A = this chain, B = another copy of it.
Amino acid sequence: MDHDGVAASLAELGNTHRLAVFRFLVKAGHNGASVGEIQKALDIPASTLSHHLARMAKVGLIKQEKHSRTIVCIPDYHHLQNLIGFLQAECCIGENMEPGAASL
């Protein structure tokens, strides 16, 4: 993931609703949750939620699988790990190594 890709993903997580959705999906685990379940749990109007989910899927934070009528949303842990790795790398170069901090 390059600079702009990282920025794009962080921007998506940088919205309260979307962050809440992502956290909910992580809690839901590898099976994910349907759009309806998310909607019920977080109480976001359907069209608004759909908009946010589409954005998250676009940058790769989540995957969406259609099973007949319902669409299941699954968080992409690998994507998040890449993000975290990028930030971690940012944090640990230069003179800012604290004792015990992991280097890469």
User: Smallest Cβ distance from A77 to chain B, in angstroms?
Assistant: 5
Q: Is the interface of A mostly helix, strand, loop or mixed?
A: helix
Q: Is A68 an interface position by the 8 A CB rule?
A: no
Count the copies: 2
Residues of B within 8 A of A72 (CB): none
Q: How far is the CA of A87 from the CA of B19 in the complex (A)?
A: 10
Residues of the B chain whose Cβ atoms lie less than 8 Å from the Cβ of A14? 7-14
Contact indicator A10/B19 (Cβ below 8 Å): yes
Report the contact-size class of chain A (Cβ under 8 Å from the partner): 35 or more
Is the CB of A35 closer than 8 A to any CB of chain B?
no
| A80 is an interface residue with CB less than 8 A from chain B | yes
Q: With the chains together, A85 CA to B91 CA distance in Å?
A: 12
Tell me which of B22, B75, B90 contacts A22 (CB under 8 A).
B90
Q: Does A81 count as interface, using CB distance less than 8 angstroms?
A: yes
